[in-house]
Amino acid sequence: MLDIFVFVLSFPLHSFEFSTFLSTFAFNLIRPTNKELVTMLLKDINIGSHSVLLLDRDGVINKLRHKDYVKVWEEFEFLPCVKETIAKWSNQLRYIFVVTNQRGVSKGKMTEEALVEVHRRMVEEIVDAGGFITKIYYCTALTDEDPNRKPNPGMFHQIQRDYPDVKQSECVMIGDSKSDEDFAKNCGIDFIYSTNEE
Ligand SMILES: [Mg+2]
């Protein structure tokens, strides 16, 4: 009898701990970490409580061009549902940055002016769909040693310099390559793997 009494007395505590456990468990299910990589279409990604999003460009926003670069706007093709998904996220995010390696410029495949024009048109279409892009960071460096070329964290340091209120803990990077994953790791931020396969 005493045992039952003690159990009843302590039940609210158990109940609280159990609900905390459940919510932590549920949160971990939707919150991908570097240890628990998930592979999914952009539209199916749950960015959880993150308020700052870093997006890779090629293979995440637009279709990859096999062994080629997007050299002009006419070669840029949005992946399905990307504009709508960014528009949806735009309601809950403080900042959305694009971080992209574009060494085609240094290789002479396209001009930096053409790259800037591609980005201008890309942002225009995202805005027309109801979304926003805070700023696009790109690295045209040829060598992998360049501090700004992913997976090196230089572009994230630029973000932190330009937006000092950005904290690592509130950032999530979405990318389609090991380089993006390593970039996120080097920045100390969460990472979600997105596939461009429909
Ligand atoms: Mg990519």
Nearest CA among 162, 138, 168 for reference residue 150: 138
Structural domain boundaries enclosing 151 = 32-194
CA angle 21, 22, 27 (to 5 degrees): 100
CA of 178 to the centre of ligand 1 (A): 9
Q: For residue range 79-126, what is the model confidence (pLDDT) as tens digits?
A: 999 999 999 999 999 999 999 999 999 999 999 999 999 999 999 999
pLDDT at res. 197:
59
Q: Give the other-Cβ count within 10 Å of 189's Cβ.
A: 22
Q: Are residues 162 and 174 in the same domain?
A: yes
Which amino acid appears at position 19 of this protein? S
Q: For residue range 80-90, what is the model confidence (pLDDT) as tens digits?
A: 999 999 999 99
Q: Are residues 15 and 59 in the same domain?
A: no
Sequence-separated (6 or more) residues with CB below 8 Å from residue 31: 48, 49, 190
CA distance 46 to 111: 36
pLDDT at res. 21:
45
Q: Are residues 91 and 77 in the same domain?
A: yes
Q: Are residues 7 and 83 in the same domain?
A: no
CA of 64 to the centre of ligand 1 (A): 8
CA of 16 to the centre of ligand 1 (A): 43
Q: Can you give the pTM of this predicted structure?
A: 0.80
Q: Are residues 100 and 127 in the same domain?
A: yes
Catalytic residue list: 56, 58
Q: For residue range 33-89, what is the model confidence (pLDDT) as tens digits?
A: 444 444 578 888 999 999 999 999 999 999 999 899 999 999 999 999 999 999 999
pLDDT at res. 164:
98
Run of H or E including 119? helix 112-128
Looking only at the bridges linking them, the beta strands covering 39-40 and 135-139 are unpaired
Q: Would you tell me the crossing angle of helices 82-90 and 112-128 to the nearest 10 degrees?
A: 70
- CATH number of the domain where residue 159 is located: 3.40.50.1000
What distance lies between CA 6 and its chain's CA centroid? 49
CA of 101 to the centre of ligand 1 (A): 8
For residue 185, what are its two tokens? 């790791």
Q: Are residues 105 and 146 in the same domain?
A: yes
Nearest CA among 110, 193, 179, 192 for reference residue 146: 179
